[in-house]
Structure 1
């Protein structure tokens, strides 16, 4: 037993388990299983060229050495990113707690009530501060949220505007530069014309459907935007505002001015800079647009007993249902970070936030006063935290750098300084000293903060916020710690049992991979800091890019996309740019198999492509004849094929190289969805199957935790012809020499989270990665054989094998009155989260165990599924059965009366293993339809909306 081997800790089954598992699967060796599973013509002949694996101890020293190469300056760059103070109680009990970071998206609401409550708090906080009616449970970053706002306003144009082809969107020149780049990326493919200008001289032409303003502007100037909004409303122009969340504590809420959408980032609410992410963006709008709002919304409903319950609301508007008709492809958001930001609001409450905002504003005013006394001219007449000083910026920059200080320099004569929560009197005096030296004057020593007065009555906030009990009850660490724990106990996460979600790969998120995230040498680097200050980051990110490039068999990688859906979009935009560079801008047809993820068609439409769906055969494979016919029919305009491999049905299609050849022969490029990459790593790769670009879900295959629905990282890896088009950033140079505009706000997306995948690959090495893939396939096939005879596996490969996942058919149980949802809910009573339900085939469940699960856990899951199969048979005799009533709560089991035709023991403890580690759902089955009919997405008591209903 090599205790230095990380693979030993990551891979679940023990060596002693292998004989029994292989015997059950019907092979003598794992090599035989792989031979029978993966087609001969795509298996790799040579091992991946990766460095030998490090032990966990070696990696800890290595990552600390890299961290020491980062120079943590006091950064006052601003531009949407500010150093924040993460309360230790939130860091320890949420960010560093697997009970929070290993949870899955709350599709199974009954075992996610804690996370749902935390997100409802977040939504309430956002609606209060923005003055809007409805907020979602987070987006990816401020820039992509602004782009989503533009897309929403375009989608909800009036009938007359649509009929007249109105497509102009006004962008204030005060918008953040990275936001402008995102707007440019998103607008062109869908036919929106951006017009950038001064909002104070805008003529409110009828040619515009919408506008976006920055509040405060990128310069720090606070404009009274109410006049603009009023004129826009009169002209039928809808308005979005990108607002600094902390400033809204002191500034008038945009919602009070009549705007339609408010977006921004909650990074300032206790989230580390992390060289750009992950951070939770916010999106708030009018309830009128509830069916157009992107991302997930948490809503209040009731359970079977009429008790208050929470769940994700209006899911039918999402891309998984609407597919190519969706207005957004957003899937993964930033739930873990939204939970942290929401808890920041709970911990500090309204008075605490006022104290922080006042301290920031007063510090900025104190600095401005001192600099003016030195004879410098400060240009902002109204500001919250950012001042602009007219002076020789080059001279100031040199002295600032000597003193480990970063400012932002918009031009040769301007220095921009953004104050943040962590700024102290000592910091202010250090800033003053820099300017005094540049002017060759004696520094002014500031002894205390003055009270800022630059926010006039016209823009000052005069309304209350965060008045509900939850924001006024947990201000001591003891109370917040207990509140966080209370919510954690309501959620089933990987620290309790296996979450065997097909296509979602819920594997071990090792502690040694997660520890570096708490290191301030990684956490406190501004994304726009000079590269020489981020050499540790640069070395890590470059190495990770090289590792992923090697693993995929491609020529280049961009880490910028900060979710899988953004990776899809980035890959298609790179393909689009490639065709345009060859004079083939007319190529706009994207072929997508009928079994594809809903994000695929949504991403294609966002990239300006027309979706043509290709058929599947009865065995689940792509219909080659139909694909060839459609590729040839559209050969003059064919842009791409989007294909998932192994297929969404959990099968390695042997015709994959023929499929990719058909597309290339007809002038298209092949995009491979990386959702199932866990079945490829070190055994085959996208390059071997003939793909041209793939995205990778680092939050799946490469061990970044799902965090209850995010963070995600979705880098793209590309063949050599696509490398020149990898995405850029307007402030820090990234991408190829013909780079497309930005895909996400930060140059390297969610760079902090990339540490996890770098750790995963570095500690596993080639051998560990290969064994991980082999054991993922072994575990899936072991479950398949154990369930054989109880459930039918719908699809297998030519030799009868599943890939890393399988689909089992639950449709025959309808004759017993049992739906697939009943199985999902009953699994909660056995202590398991349901596998993926009704995707890609309605009435089925898709199981993916991952390599991290032990034989003991696989057996427990199989025992549960076999026991449930017997309960399905028993359900015929009485519709009031254990399946239909699942899940069973502790309140039911301890009630004085028991009106069910089965025992309490059968309800709660159907198998013996459950008694020693029982997980109790806290609500009975939720009523989704009721919650959609009576939409409420804030913390108001259920009595209020039940009375209205």
Structure 2
């Protein structure tokens, strides 16, 4: 009997990536549906997603194409960008990413697929890298404490403003900003200040600055060091003036320059009254490409007194149960997931991967290498200035590090045009002034080319050869750094590539990332970050573009932006979208700013009440507070749903002032609430707008659209639903999506030439260089594949819930017993039966080779599991078997066979050192501790520290590199 040959279309297999991304095949699906008790995937989805909100139409997203075809299409798009040599500066500088760092960190899934290090015992490697980052920042700025990265320099400055407002004695409401700070920083600060009622005053001259700081109406000041035009100045006397007024002195400082300049923390010639209070900036020039503006790790360092109000992650050193040093996230009680509307910031995702790159750049080069790079830049700048002087062009400031501000006498446009013709970009600072910034990549030929741009016809050109003798950086003696930095051995050891390679590998071996096993974190969507999606991020056509280069040099990015926005609108049902927010927290903030701007434009600026369910993620109330709204919490019922009676009462109570409600859908309890359309209509009837948090969008793409069932605004997490990797805690992208009447209020960017409301990120396109990842995902999946991914994620969550039902009941489910794409496992009763807590189960899972599910959110002492569509049935079963085995261990404790305080769960995780020690006085065997299931004997992940003492770490806060002697 003959069979029909496959068609050419079948052989071309345009949807090949579906099977690469989705871990479940047809045979697996049948087995899973049987366990769940459903006849088909369609029947399951129909029973999970309320029919009242189900999508009836296909998303307007192109059909899938192969990985090779998608890469070729994106390569053509990238080719429309024009990569010119950039001398623009303004906070963004070309540099050389060492190959050993590029290949083994930036392009290594062991680093980029890890999650935020909430589970300290399986995150020691990247936390050591982050402590190196913090130490690097502290040493270079001269400050006592620094956090583990911020989103960008501009938002770091805005956060510093609010940190100062919380921390100082001055009662004024004015924030003074030096007019020669970077323009994008000024704009983001102004955006942040307005809804908080803070007045930003710009000082555009020394006279204005002196007059403003002599006043009594301000609480803090900000200056750029060096300034955006290159000016240098040690402001010790000004700092003393500000301190005398009870204010805080904030400095935005260039870290490379600080290898040569007196750091702000050491201003005042030893007098603490003359030293800065907060120092912020970017680490971009420490090994991260220009990336059209991001992602780059910013930093914040501050006085010790401010540390408990400092935003962002802070990695500290504690001890483990064996008394050995161990890293952990410190002072978490100040963060949004705990403090909610009282948090210091809404920041959740930061910039961990770029921070690791920056710290490794410092480790690899060491203090002498960094100083050499900086001195070379400064020396070339001095040579450039000397040659220009010979040509009759003078720098406006004779003292500078890397930037010259040159008067052009009306020739600005012609010089800029000559530069473009020569293949370089310069910065048009003002009509009569051009700024030129040099960097690590600047060559002698570049300097001579720059001279040619300014030379008049017939003028003979200087040569570097002739001017280099005796050339010295244009840094006055009083500003030259004399203090040592980066003295810890980690910065003075790994300078050969072999040594660096092994150090990086040693750290990555300590961590558990997606390259080892599934990470079933609820509300985090740890899905595949496919290699084909990651390849384009280091293409020079994307990586080497300056964010403020002329628009016609960024055509490829513009088209990518347009296409991706269209696809995301199709996926969400919204009319407009901005990709500028560079984290989910920033997307929330931007979305609420949109709502606030809308109400103000309608003459309803008094609307300031934001309703938030008690189950909401902590970023929601923190974001509402950032835009000046008042948070009113609404109750949830016994099933975890929004209590509609309480919501109605709150809407009526606050009807005249209701601005918005923020909901997560499906809910943070992992359920599709059937009343969501009624909820939206209710809020609309009282004049409010509906914010639908996109944290759980992985359960909606293709099945339901927030913009269709009543949402007005949503943010997405491209680092969840659309495959940008979490990077150990960033970068992320948090696009804000809106309905048609809110489109005019989306974030703009004056520096980037985009209309709209104020900028929320330093760069017009935020973390632009990771957008190709989501573009590739959408292009290779197509509308059908994206919907299949959603349905498979729901299938996998329900399979886990069903398989574990007899061991750990699912806390919340729909009336038919199903969940959305995640489920909360009930463990609370074990505390009463045997003293076992959810944390004990989380730590014991490490011995089985798993990252724990989300611990104690949204319900204390539970585990929330989200498997995603990317995991295979074999991996799901391995996790389920581990959980069942742990339930058996709990039963042993319940039966009294193991003491409540001396059992494998309480001692978890087990390190190799603890298991191989001479003494073993526990009531279970070493084998039970190490190999609770037989498969672990073949492949085993070993935690390198025992359970970390969180209380000790906060009581004995230490956030710099551990002294070597502590490891002895």
Bin for the TM-score computed over the shorter chain:
over 0.9
1:922 aligns with 2:944: yes
Once superposed, what is the RMSD of the aligned Cα atoms? 1.3
1:859 aligns with 2:877: yes
Aligned to 2:4: none
**Structure 2 residue corresponding to 1:279, chosen from 289, 292, 296:** 296
Greater Cα shift, 886-895 or 30-39:
886-895
Unaligned runs of 5+ in 1: none
SS in 1 for 2:308: coil
Alignment partners' CA distance in 1, 2:911 and 2:691: 45
SS in 2 for 1:832: coil
Alignment partners' CA distance in 1, 2:144 and 2:343: 22
Aligned to 2:514: 494
Aligned to 2:906: 884
Distance 1:254 1:916, change over 3 A: same
**Structure 1 residue corresponding to 2:855, chosen from 827, 834, 837:** 837
Greater Cα shift, 142-151 or 514-523:
514-523
Alignment partners' CA distance in 1, 2:85 and 2:478: 33
Alignment of 1:254-333 (within 5 A): 254-257=264-267, 258-333=275-350
**Structure 2 residue corresponding to 1:215, chosen from 225, 228, 232:** 225
Aligned to 1:399: 418
Aligned to 1:732: 752
Alignment partners' CA distance in 2, 1:944 and 1:504: 35
> Normalising by the residue count of structure 1, what TM-score does the alignment of the two structures yield?
0.98
Aligned to 2:3: none
Residues 692 and 715 in structure 2, CA contact (< 8 A), matched pair in contact too: yes
Alignment partners' CA distance in 2, 1:559 and 1:667: 27
Task: Kindly tell me the number of residue pairs found equivalent between the two proteins.
Answer: 937
Aligned to 1:588: 608
**Structure 1 residue corresponding to 2:638, chosen from 615, 618, 635:** 618
Alignment partners' CA distance in 2, 1:704 and 1:814: 38
Alignment partners' CA distance in 1, 2:680 and 2:458: 67
Aligned to 2:5: none
Please give the per-residue CA displacement for 1:764-795, whole angstroms capped at 9, x wherever unaligned.
00010000000000000000011011011010
Aligned to 1:757: 774
SS in 2 for 1:320: helix
**Structure 1 residue corresponding to 2:463, chosen from 425, 436, 445:** 445
Aligned to 1:173: 179
1:530 aligns with 2:550: yes
SS in 1 for 2:666: coil
1:827 aligns with 2:845: yes
Return the offset for 1:171. 0.7
Alignment partners' CA distance in 2, 1:174 and 1:534: 26
Residues 109 and 312 in structure 1, CA contact (< 8 A), matched pair in contact too: yes
> Normalising by the residue count of structure 2, what TM-score does the alignment of the two structures yield?
0.96
**Structure 2 residue corresponding to 1:253, chosen from 263, 269, 281:** 263
Unaligned runs of 5+ in 2: 1-9, 268-274
Aligned to 1:668: 688
Alignment of 1:410-809 (within 5 A): 410-436=429-455, 441-447=459-465, 449=468, 451-735=471-755, 739-809=756-826
Please give the per-residue CA displacement for 1:894-929, whole angstroms capped at 9, x wherever unaligned.
222212111111111111222222000000000000
Please give the per-residue CA displacement for 1:639-679, whole angstroms capped at 9, x wherever unaligned.
00000000000000000000000110000001111000000
Return the offset for 1:423. 0.5
SS in 2 for 1:839: coil
Aligned to 2:922: 900
Residues 574 and 708 in structure 2, CA contact (< 8 A), matched pair in contact too: no
Alignment partners' CA distance in 1, 2:111 and 2:967: 30
Residues 401 and 473 in structure 2, CA contact (< 8 A), matched pair in contact too: no
Residues 375 and 473 in structure 2, CA contact (< 8 A), matched pair in contact too: no
Return the offset for 1:140. 0.2
Return the offset for 1:194. 1.1
Alignment partners' CA distance in 1, 2:549 and 2:295: 17
Residues 308 and 942 in structure 1, CA contact (< 8 A), matched pair in contact too: no
SS in 2 for 1:214: strand
Return the offset for 1:734. 2.2
Residues 300 and 942 in structure 1, CA contact (< 8 A), matched pair in contact too: no
Return the offset for 1:440. 5.2
Distance 1:940 1:918, change over 3 A: closer
Residues 123 and 137 in structure 1, CA contact (< 8 A), matched pair in contact too: yes
SS in 2 for 1:311: strand
Distance 1:945 1:293, change over 3 A: farther
1:909 aligns with 2:909: no
Aligned to 1:939: 961
**Structure 1 residue corresponding to 2:35, chosen from 4, 20, 24:** 24
Alignment partners' CA distance in 1, 2:758 and 2:160: 18
Aligned to 2:6: none
Alignment partners' CA distance in 2, 1:416 and 1:395: 14
Aligned to 1:57: 68
